[in-house]
Amino acid sequence: MSKTLKEEFGRVGVLFGGRSAEREISLMSGSGVLKALQSQGVDAHGFDPAQRTLAELAAEKFDRVFIALHGRYGEDGTLQGALEQLGIPYTGPGVLASAIAMDKAMTKRVWLHNGLSTPEFEMLSADSDWTAVAKKLGLPLIVKPAHEGSTLGLTKVTDVAQLPSAYALAAKFDKAVMAEAFISGMELTCPVLGAGDDAQALPVVRIVAPDANYDYQNKYFSDQTKYLCPSELSPAMEKQVQELVLASYRTLGCRGWARADVMIRASDSQPLLLEINTSPGMTGHSLVPMSAAVAGMPYEQLCIAILRMAALDLRPTADWKPG
């Protein structure tokens, strides 16, 4: 007889809520995941790290956890490090990949080093030479905090005179602020599931926002943003994007799952990587579930597949004990 999911996974924690700017989204992601896992007979329990301590997490004696947290202290490698210490396998990429992916600038350095295309960028500081930055990257350009998500603190700058205030806004969210060449073109996102050679890109999702303005409001609350999946790209372009995304995932050493944001530059049809999210949204409207559904994997099955890949960076030896 095959094992039940309860036997296979044991006691499962679903970590959601948390202390980041994306807490509200995480609450939606986590309740969706929790409900889906429970509906499949998994012994799953919610746990909000904003309300309870790491000692309490250890006391829960979870056999594995599903990380449905977004942003800092959930997606950025710090929680992954704590789970490594506790010896609790967790979903998604490990410590290093999570930490790099949380930093958009560091991610781009790794991608560029490996020949993967991403828009040109420049780090900013309060005393940056704004004219030189605008000259190097061209106008318009994008100013964004290197670590935040959900388009918080991001500005499209069309005039050099706006640069100082765009910098000041982004700096409210993060010490590291970057300027990036503005890409005019199609906006896409593409999930990856799996590890190493077995990792696979799922169908590409095309995002069509009103006025091509994909901000926090449009991202989470607007009915006007349209999501196309299948993307209606040509099969060759769909494949090119998926291969770029798969390479971006493998280059960072991701495992489990992630979702990369890509733009296709209108002027030359070149796909460019914007960022990779290592703990993507799992709300009812989120894009990974949308893409997985098109690939024939309903939400519940997606949650199970991600949970099944929960792992630790370091494989414990026989005599190893949680620290």
Give me the least distance between CB of 55 and Mg ion, in Å please: 34
| Total residues in contact with ligand ADP, by rule CB under 6 A | 17
142 touches ligand ADP by CB under 6 A: yes
Give me the least distance between CB of 196 and Mg ion, in Å please: 25
295, HSE (Cβ side, Cα atoms, 13 Å): 20
SS (H, E, C) the chain: CCCCHHHHHCEEEEECCCCCCCHHHHHHHHHHHHHHHHHCCCEEEEECCCCCCHHHHHHCCCCEEEECCCCCCCCCCHHHHHHHHHCCCECCCCHHHHHHHHCHHHHHHHHHHCCCCCCCEEEECCCCCHHHHHHHHCCCEEEEECCCCCCCCCEEECCHHHHHHHHHHHHHHCCCEEEEECCCEEEEEEEEECCHHHCEECCCEEEECHHHCCCHHHHHCCCCCEEECCCCCCHHHHHHHHHHHHHHHHHCCCCCEEEEEEEEECCCCCEEEEEEECCCCCCCCCHHHHHHHHCCCCHHHHHHHHHHCCECCCCCCCCCCCC
What is the footprint of ligand ADP within residues 269-298 (CB under 6 A)?
274-275
Candidates 105-113, 148-156, 191-199, 226-234: pick the segment binding ligand ADP (CB under 6 A).
148-156
When CB distances are held under 5 to 8 angstroms depending on the partner's kind, the choice from ligand ADP, Mg ion, none that residue 119 binds is ligand ADP
When CB distances are held under 5 to 8 angstroms depending on the partner's kind, the choice from Mg ion, ligand ADP, none that residue 182 binds is ligand ADP
- Told to judge if 98 belongs to the known catalytic residues of this protein, a careful annotator would answer no
What is the footprint of ligand ADP within residues 244-263 (CB under 6 A)?
261, 263
Specify the residue, 119 or 194, whose C-beta has the smaller distance to ligand ADP: 119
Give me the least distance between CB of 199 and Mg ion, in Å please: 20
Give me the least distance between CB of 56 and ligand ADP, in Å please: 30
When CB distances are held under 5 to 8 angstroms depending on the partner's kind, the choice from ligand ADP, Mg ion, none that residue 150 binds is ligand ADP
Specify the residue, 43 or 187, whose C-beta has the smaller distance to ligand ADP: 187
| Candidate list 150, 231, 248, 279, residue with the active-site label | 150
| Candidate list 30, 77, 153, 281, residue with the active-site label | 281
Specify the residue, 76 or 275, whose C-beta has the smaller distance to ligand ADP: 275
261 touches Mg ion by CB under 5 A: yes
What is the footprint of ligand ADP within residues 102-141 (CB under 6 A)?
119
64, HSE (Cβ side, Cα atoms, 13 Å): 22
When CB distances are held under 5 to 8 angstroms depending on the partner's kind, the choice from ligand ADP, Mg ion, none that residue 183 binds is ligand ADP
180 touches ligand ADP by CB under 6 A: yes
183 touches ligand ADP by CB under 6 A: yes
Give me the least distance between CB of 272 and ligand ADP, in Å please: 8
Order of all β-strands in the sheet with 121-124: 121-124, 177-181, 141-145, 155-157
Instruction: Let me know the angle formed at the C-alpha of 93 by 297 and 71, rounded to the nearest 5 degrees.
Output: 95
Could you list the active site residues?
Answer: 22, 150, 220, 259, 261, 275, 277, 281
Which residues would be at the binding site for ligand ADP (CB under 6 A)?
119, 142, 144, 149-151, 154, 180-183, 187, 214, 261, 263, 274-275
